[in-house]
């Protein structure tokens, strides 16, 4: 079984809340135990932010949201769960106690992951009766957007457990990386700790402020790291000669006195206050929730951009998002019966920050994207899905006419409808309308002609019966509808 059917989250703070949102938005029921009196509110706020982020992240049909249930006891929460995620505070004695309780109450085949950012799994599993199923599943904040999970086993963790955990992550849009040997702080936090120590010295010595330091990262190598990491970035820096040239050229710098990493800064009260004050100034009155939403919008924009790179194949985290969306499209999201008495409502989305121009309005090519997504949704209804395309046939759009009637603005809920105005064995003539979901007003329309093609032969070809049998009932029903206003217009035609 590679699918998580029910999850349990023990602890609902920053990380635990992120796990809860990740599971729920993948359609998984989640039971939660957290004795904190404000746990329900905290988790609810994190989930609300996650839902806003997902509305911007993908237009793929998410499954119905999983059921969220808060339980009064740990034992009740883990009952029946096949993935249990522990996210309690980072204290060895507490985590060991909680994990031992989980082990005693969980079903025999349940996987148990710990969100620890540095404790060794061997230490965590010491008192468990079934330590072979315990592993570290260390995510990155926000868990519902950042896809990486470091999977680390202890001395008693079985290889089957590691393999099972790795297989269950892609269906929820996450990438597991197996860390071969357990080591304090694993890999990601080791790298972050080195950068953090050096950063503290730069502030301590008044080389720069916290805002300047953050600007250095976010306007330069941070963007490179987001899509290519460290070593591949440096390989490119070596030019045509590659990594060997880079190491020969810059390797000697490791001997230069560029770092204080071997000399740990004294994080005394004065330095803590200095950093705190500068950080307050940098925030400029924005609340944590506002900063989280800004962070999420920025990450969505990066991920969406990376999804469209490399000739549309996607790159890095964008490629992973593309594959996750393909998984979602294959699942089909929440199934609804088709109402053929009116144009089909096929796409529901919101105007993402990545979609707007300097005026805050949706930019022109995003209209074409939504209309293209609408055509794709119709094609999936008639059986022209990814598997069909891979067999060498598809519909190609040969003509499009878009009318801009209103304006779509940042954050606006919009939906598209499709009416088939003509169809035969080779041609598909459609008329799409983009609506303001609140008022129903039409914002834009697109009339398109699509041809069924044999991609291998490179020419138009009749669609097979398996497609036509699904297309014809929709086309027949829509033939009884009035021709939509604006159909058949050409550019510049007077109203």
19-29 pLDDT tens trace = 999 999 999 99
Identify the sign of the CA torsion 373, 374, 377, 383. Answer: negative
Residues near 48 by beta carbon (within 8 Å), at least 6 away in sequence: none
pLDDT at 69: 98
Bridge partners, 345 (sequence order)? 417
Residues near 164 by beta carbon (within 8 Å), at least 6 away in sequence: 111
pLDDT at 470 over 80: yes
pTM for this prediction: 0.80
The domains located in the chain, with CATH, are 6-186 (3.40.50.720), 197-285 (no CATH), 336-478 (3.10.129.10)
pLDDT at 13 over 60: yes
Residues near 181 by beta carbon (within 8 Å), at least 6 away in sequence: none
Rounded to an integer, the average pLDDT of 337-365 is 87
pLDDT at 61 over 90: no
Rounded to an integer, the average pLDDT of 416-424 is 96
pLDDT at 336: 59
Rounded to an integer, the average pLDDT of 407-434 is 95
User: β-strand 134-139 against 344-350: which pairing, if any?
Assistant: unpaired
pLDDT at 59 over 90: no
**Backbone phi, psi, residue 126, to 5°:** -55, -45
Q: State whether residue 211 is helix, strand or coil.
A: helix
Q: What is the DSSP letter of 361?
A: B
CA Rg value for the chain: 26
pLDDT at 396: 95
Q: Which percentage of the chain shows pLDDT scores above 90? A: 68
pLDDT at 212: 96
Distance CA 363, CA 371 (A): 13
Q: Which percentage of the chain shows pLDDT scores above 70? A: 99
Distance CA 87, CA 95 (A): 8
Residues of each annotated binding site: 11-16
Nearest to 112 by CA among 124, 179, 120, 94: 124
- Residue 192: pLDDT band with limits 50, 70, 90: very high
Rounded to an integer, the average pLDDT of 268-278 is 89
**Backbone phi, psi, residue 196, to 5°:** -65, -45
Residues of each annotated binding site for NAD(+): 11-16
pLDDT at 256: 75
pLDDT at 149 over 70: yes
Distance CA 154, CA 158 (A): 9
Question: In Å, how far from its chain's centre is CA 75?
Answer: 31
Distance CA 250, CA 243 (A): 10
- Residue 267: pLDDT band with limits 50, 70, 90: confident
Q: How do residues 332-341 score in pLDDT, each as one tens digit? A: 654 556 789 9
Rounded to an integer, the average pLDDT of 262-280 is 86
Show the tokens assigned to 470: 């699904």
pLDDT at 409 over 90: yes
Distance CA 72, CA 89 (A): 19
User: Are the CB atoms for 2 and 111 separated by under 8 Å?
Assistant: no
User: β-strand 29-33 against 6-10: which pairing, if any?
Assistant: parallel
pLDDT at 121: 98
pLDDT at 252 over 90: no
- Residue 444: pLDDT band with limits 50, 70, 90: very high
Average confidence score pLDDT of the chain? 92
């Amino acid at each position: 079984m590679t699918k998580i059917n029910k999850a349990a989250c023990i602890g609902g703070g920053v990380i635990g809340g992120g796990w809860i949102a990740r599971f729920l938005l993948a359609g998984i029921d989640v039971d939660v135990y957290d004795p904190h009196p404000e746990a329900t509110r905290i988790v609810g706020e994190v989930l609300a932010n996650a839902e806003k982020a997902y509305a911007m992240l993908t237009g793929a049909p998410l499954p119905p949201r999983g059921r969220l249930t808060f339980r009064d006891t740990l034992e009740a929460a883990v009952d029946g769960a096949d993935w249990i995620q522990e996210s309690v505070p980072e204290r060895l004695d507490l985590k060991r106690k909680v994990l031992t309780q989980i082990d005693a109450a969980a079903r025999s085949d349940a996987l148990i992951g710990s969100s620890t950012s540095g404790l060794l799994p061997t230490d965590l599993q010491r008192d468990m009766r079934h330590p072979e199923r315990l592993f570290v599943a260390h995510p990155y904040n926000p868990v519902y957007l950042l896809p990486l999970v470091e999977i680390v086993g202890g001395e008693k963790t079985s290889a089957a457990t590691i393999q099972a955990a790795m297989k269950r992550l892609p269906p929820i849009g996450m990438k597991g990386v197996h860390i071969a040997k357990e080591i304090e702080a694993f890999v990601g936090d080791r790298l972050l700790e080195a950068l953090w120590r050096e950063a503290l010295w730069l502030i301590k010595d008044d080389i720069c402020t916290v805002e300047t330091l953050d600007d250095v990262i976010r306007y330069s190598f941070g963007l490179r790291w987001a899509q290519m990491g460290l070593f591949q970035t440096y390989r490119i820096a070596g030019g045509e000669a590659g990594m060997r040239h880079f190491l020969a050229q810059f390797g000697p710098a490791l001997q230069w006195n560029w770092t204080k990493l071997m000399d740990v800064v004294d994080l005394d009260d004065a330095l803590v206050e200095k950093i705190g004050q500068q950080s307050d100034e940098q925030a400029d009155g924005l609340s944590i929730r506002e900063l989280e939403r800004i962070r999420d919008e920025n990450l969505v924009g990066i991920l969406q951009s990376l999804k469209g790179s490399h000739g549309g194949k996607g790159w890095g985290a964008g490629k992973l998002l593309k594959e996750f969306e393909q998984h979602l499209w294959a699942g089909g999201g929440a199934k609804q019966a088709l109402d053929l008495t009116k144009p089909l409502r096929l796409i529901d989305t919101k105007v993402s920050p990545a979609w707007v121009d300097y005026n805050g309005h949706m930019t022109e090519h995003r209209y074409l994207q939504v209309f293209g997504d609408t055509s794709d949704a119709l094609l999936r209804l008639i059986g022209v899905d990814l598997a069909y395309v891979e067999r060498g046939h598809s519909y190609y759009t040969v003509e499009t006419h878009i009318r801009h009637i209103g304006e779509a603005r940042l954050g606006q809920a919009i939906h598209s409808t499709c009416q088939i105005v003509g169809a035969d064995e080779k041609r598909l003539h459609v008329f799409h309308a983009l609506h303001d979901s609140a008022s129903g007003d039409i914002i834009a329309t697109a009339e398109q002609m699509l041809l069924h093609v044999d991609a291998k032969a490179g020419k138009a070809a009749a669609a097979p019966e398996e497609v036509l049998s699904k297309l014809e009932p929709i086309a027949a029903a829509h033939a009884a509808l009035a021709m939509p206003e604006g159909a058949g217009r050409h550019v510049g035609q007077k109203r």
